[in-house]
Amino acid sequence: MPGNPDSLSEGLSFQKRRRRILSTSRFPEQTIAEGHELSGAQFAALARAVLNSGASLRFRARGGSMYPTLQQGDILLIRPVSAHWLSKGDIVLCQAGSERLVAHRILGVGSRQKGSRFLVKGDHCGSQDGWVAGTTVLGRVAQVERGQQNISLESKRYRLLGYLIACLSPLNVWQYPAMVWIYRLLRRLGSHHRVLCTGAS
């Protein structure tokens, strides 16, 4: 590791190395979140390997490009998904530019006949990432853990909300007031629905 005095041991005796092979160091929880231990390239390589194996990926988010849907420190669960099943409003982990992976929202879906491609953007970003090929999409954000809360983005309510945000996203000025209004409306409808159900039973 750069900055670690032990990294100077390259080419020295086995004794020096010995201490290191025996320390299969378990990264402290926070250092992963802050990205101090995993570089962007390392994270991308691991994420790709995990999701290509068919397993889901869990990691701590950083950055604020998807605020308020995703927030700094949230723990995200990414499920591998075929590009065929992705739709407008979904939040996907994809490669936007060089090797950087981002979890951003799909605003548009290109022709599937010529190979899937998606227009992606962070909810809190002023500009779009642009069109990305379906092959650069690694998975879909399925769940967000925030404190004691577990939020399923695969629920009907959040998928509808995601779709509406994607529709409004080009209108950045109105996006956040509109999101708050839509969210409150959905909550009110939800509680109204519960009252009706309770009344019916």
Instruction: Say if residues 103 and 91 touch (Cβ distance below 8 Å).
Output: yes
Question: Could you give phi then psi for residue 99, rounded to 5 degrees?
Answer: -110, 5
Binding to other proteins in span 88-147, by CB under 8 A? none
In sequence order, the 6+-apart residues with CB closer than 8 A to the CB of 157 are 186, 190
Least distance in angstroms from the C-beta of 23 to other proteins: 8
> Which of 34, 36, 40, 42 touches other proteins (CB under 8 A)?
42
Residue 42 vs 191, nearer CB to other proteins: 42
Phi first, then psi, for residue 136 (nearest 5°) are: -90, -5
Cβ distance to other proteins smaller for residue 42 or 155: 42
Task: Examine residue 9 and tell whether it contacts other proteins (CB under 8 A).
Answer: yes
> Residue 153 interacts with other proteins (CB under 8 A)?
no
| Region 50-89 residues binding other proteins, contact defined as CB under 8 A | 50, 53-60, 75, 77
Complex with other proteins: residue 55 or 189, whichever CB lies closer: 55
Helix (H, G, I), strand (E, B) or coil at 118: strand
Half-sphere exposure at residue 147, Cβ-oriented, CA atoms within 13 angstroms: 2
User: Quick check: 33 binds other proteins (CB under 8 A)?
Assistant: yes
Question: With contact defined as beta carbons under 8 Å apart, do 123 and 65 qualify?
Answer: yes
Q: Judged by CB under 8 A, does residue 43 bind other proteins?
A: yes
User: Minimal distance in Å, beta carbon 189 to other proteins?
Assistant: 32
Cβ-count burial of 66 within 10 angstroms (0-12 exposed, 13-18 middle, 19+ buried)? buried
Residues touching other proteins, count (CB under 8 A): 42
Q: Which helix (H) or strand (E) holds 133?
A: strand 130-133
Binding of residue 196 to other proteins (CB under 8 A): no
Closest CA to 69 of 138, 146, 130, 147: 146
Nearer to other proteins, 92 or 106 (CB): 92
Binding footprint of other proteins on the chain (CB under 8 A): 1, 6, 9-10, 13-15, 17-27, 29, 32-33, 37-39, 41-43, 45-47, 49-50, 53-60, 75, 77
